[in-house]
Chains A and B, each alone.
Chain A
Amino acid sequence: MIRVRDLTKRYGSFVAVERLSFEVGRGEIVGFLGPNGAGKTTTLRVLTGFQPATSGTAELAGMNVASDSLGVRRQLGYLPQEVPIYPDLRVIEYLRYRAALKGVPAKARAGAVARAMDKAGIVDVGHKLVGHVSHGYRQRVGLADALVANPPILILDEPTSGLDPNQRRRIKQVVRDLANEHTVLFSSHILGEVQEVTSRVLVIHRGVLRADGSPAELVARGASRRLRVAVRGEPGALASALAAGGIAADVVVGDGLASAVAELPAGADPVPALAAALAARALPVHELRVELPTLEEWFHAVTEGADRGEEAAAAAQEAGR
């Protein structure tokens, strides 16, 4: 339903998005994740036709955003990051206006508005002026606006930003409920939120796509794992067992245990060899496990950590000249 190929967006000399490519299938809910300023909103603005791409192509429902912008916008419900709604209209008036603007036929309009209000959970504020409802409700009015024409594709830009935990939970539930009927691209900079709502994550950082996959997959393949081992015995015996298993780590002593923590390179599985070495030395094992990084650690590794790695490599290259 959404296909992006080599999408680049520049503002003068500043590159906001660079050669971004991804696809989102029909009925998928995909999280679009990245720190603030990563290029998420710029990408979404290009997809919604609000801004043109500098180069590359974006297709929604088989239509090119640049050449068939109106057709794309008919297939699209968009919730911008800051939900800007006219404060002098009542919620129901605003949604009727938006439904009419989106071409919902006059006879079907009342039903479409009622359904969208019900899905977004704003029936109780329908007759209030938009300027008088809370931020959380306003966000949900924006969501109802995105849903009112029942579009097949929904693009939600940080729909939970600035909401309290209860409001966030409500929005996340609404988004989860949309899964069967709509294709949803959901941007956020909050990892846990994306993990709860989506089955697939795209990570963008500094305008470049850094990762694409399910949260569990990405964590498993993307960042280094940690080996944690503790035995009752001499620290020297543990150090020799670690060396026999090909693991470099410092051994520390505490609470009557000799223990060590080692970073494992991707793909390495030293546990069987280490277990055999510990058994050969008759060391009673208190703990032996491989820890996966948390999603937060993984996210840090593919964004800030990657930056530091690139900077270090560049500095080393500079020093070598």
Chain B
Amino acid sequence: MNGALVTFRKELLSYCVSPVSWIVGVLFYWWRGLELRALVDYFARYRVDQELLPPQTYSLGSTFLMVVLVPGLLTMRSFAEERRTGSLETLLTAPVRDGEVILGKWAAATAFYSLLWLPSVLVLHVLEYGPFLAADLAFGPVFAAYLGMFLLAGMLLAFGCFASSLTDNVLLAALLTIMFDYGLLTLPRQIAGLLGEAAQDWRVRELLDKFDVMRNFSEWFARGLIDTSQVAFYVGGIAFFLCLCGISLAARRIG
């Protein structure tokens, strides 16, 4: 696993010095700050229950940005740039397994994504000690929500790595991931709408619910409920897309 660790460190350093990462971070926190101001104002005015916090938070545009746009922007360079510049050849002729390289790159993207979320913990501090909530903040649901976001991001970033391994065009890699992320967020509900009556069948409903990421968040993670089948869904998704990425690199070797 030395190769994965070395790749992780190098990639994390690259994220930290990349202008794209800084632009994403600044945009996210600028937008987040504006939204938080509106949210705090709302809570201060109405002194509502914490129950209302999750739906309010997940409907924020910055969350949408972090789920739909950011995974694509972070992972677009991971393999596409290496293919474009030719550095993939030096990387894959080093004594390191393809799987270690993939794991290192994915872990670095997930770690940097998590770092982007980290300052939002300060928001909880403000909410807990400010005169906004009717009762003390319950940290269980907060932990579950962060876990859910981490798992979802892990899966989307794994898809991003896979998309990036398919092309040497960085923008195309980003677009593929953004389209996938947007589809994952919106398609289950659109499909349910299109199916009409058929969507009421419990088997169809269960399948669609499983893929309905927003519903998973608002009804499970945000309430502090961690369903192992959902955890398995995201972990399985991560493994599936990382394996696809490995196949894509192997196919590239065969030429």
Whether a CB of chain A sits under 8 angstroms from the CB of B94 is yes
Instruction: Kindly supply a per-residue 1/0 record for chain A positions 67-100, scoring 1 wherever the CB is within 8 Å of any chain B CB and 0 otherwise.
Output: 0001001101010101011101100010001101
Q: Given the complex, which residues of B lie within 8 Å of A74, measured CB to CB?
A: 95
B96 at the interface (CB under 8 A from A): yes
Q: Which of A52, A84, A142 makes the CB contact (< 8 A) with B254?
A: A52
Interface of B is mostly: helix
**Contacts of B190 on A, CB cut-off 8 Å?**
none
B73-98 CB mask vs A (1 if < 8 Å, else 0) is 00000000010011101101111110
Docked CA distance A89–B95 (Å): 21
**Cβ contact of B86, chosen from A82, A88, A100, cutoff 8 A:** A82
**Given A52-B254, A97-B10, A101-B3: A84 and B90 interface contact (C-beta under 8 Å):** yes
Q: State the Cβ distance, A60 to closest chain B Cβ, in Å.
A: 12
Indicate if the CB atoms of B18 and A88 lie closer than 8 Å: yes
Q: Which chain A positions have C-beta within 8 A of B14?
A: 86, 88-89
Interface residues of B toward A: which range?
A: 20 to 34
Indicate whether B7 reaches chain A with its CB closer than 8 angstroms.
yes
B95/A103 in contact, CB under 8 A: yes
Q: A84-B85, A86-B87, A103-B2 are in contact. Are A98 and B94 (CB under 8 A)?
A: yes
In this assembly, does B6 line the interface, its C-beta being within 8 Å of a C-beta of chain A? Answer: yes
The smallest beta-carbon distance between B81 and chain A, in angstroms, is 9
Taking a contact as CB atoms under 8 Å apart, the answer to whether A85 and B254 are in contact is: no
- Complex Cα distance, B81 from A84, in Å, reads 11
How would residues 40 to 62 of chain A score, 1 for a CB under 8 Å from any chain B CB and 0 otherwise?
A: 00000100111110000000000
Known contacts A11-B255, A80-B86, A84-B85: A97-B93 contact under CB 8 Å: no
A105 to chain B, nearest CB (A): 10
- Contact status of A101 and B87, CB under 8 A, knowing A11-B255, A50-B253, A73-B94: no
Contact-residue bracket for chain A? 20 to 34
Instruction: Compute how far the CA of A98 lies from the CA of B95 in the bound complex, rounded to whole angstroms.
Output: 10
The answer to whether B93 and A78 have CB atoms under 8 Å apart is yes
In whole Å, how far is B87's beta carbon from the nearest beta carbon of chain A? 4
Known: A51-B253, A97-B10, A100-B6. A70 touches B97 (CB 8 A): yes
Q: Which residue of B lies closest to A41 (CB)?
A: B89
Tell me whether A48 and B255 are in contact (CB under 8 A).
Answer: no
Distance from A89 Cβ to chain B, minimum over Cβ atoms (Å): 8
Question: Known contacts A11-B255, A88-B17, A88-B18; is A50 also within 8 Å of B7 by CB?
Answer: no
* A19 beta carbon closer than 8 Å to chain B: no
Known: A88-B14, A100-B6. A73 touches B90 (CB 8 A): no
Residues of A within 8 A of B87 (CB): 84-86
What mask results when residues 1 to 39 of chain B are scored 1 for a CB within 8 Å of chain A, else 0? 011001101100110011000000000000000000000
Expressed in whole angstroms, the minimum distance between the Cβ of B88 and any Cβ of chain A is 8
Asked if A84 meets B89 with Cβ closer than 8 Å, knowing A50-B253, A51-B254, the reply is yes
Q: Is A115 an interface residue (CB 8 A)?
A: no
Question: What CA separation (Å) do A84 and B96 show in the bound complex?
Answer: 18
How far apart are B8's CB and chain A's nearest CB, in angstroms?
Answer: 11
Contacts of A103 in B (CB 8 A): 2, 95
Q: How far is the CA of A84 from the CA of B88 in the complex (A)?
A: 8
Q: Chain A residues near B17 (CB, 8 Å)?
A: 88
Known: A45-B89, A89-B13. 14 other contacts (CB 8 A): A52-B253, A70-B96, A73-B95, A73-B96, A74-B95, A78-B93, A80-B93, A84-B85, A86-B14, A97-B6, A97-B9, A100-B2, A101-B94, A103-B95
Q: Which 6 A-B pairs have the closest CB atoms?
A: A84-B87, A84-B86, A73-B95, A74-B95, A48-B93, A100-B6
Interface pairs (30), CB distance under 8 Å: A11-B255, A49-B92, A50-B89, A50-B92, A50-B93, A51-B253, A52-B253, A52-B254, A70-B95, A73-B94, A74-B95, A76-B93, A78-B90, A84-B85, A84-B89, A85-B90, A88-B17, A89-B13, A93-B13, A97-B6, A97-B10, A98-B90, A100-B6, A100-B9, A101-B7, A101-B94, A101-B95, A101-B96, A102-B95, A103-B2
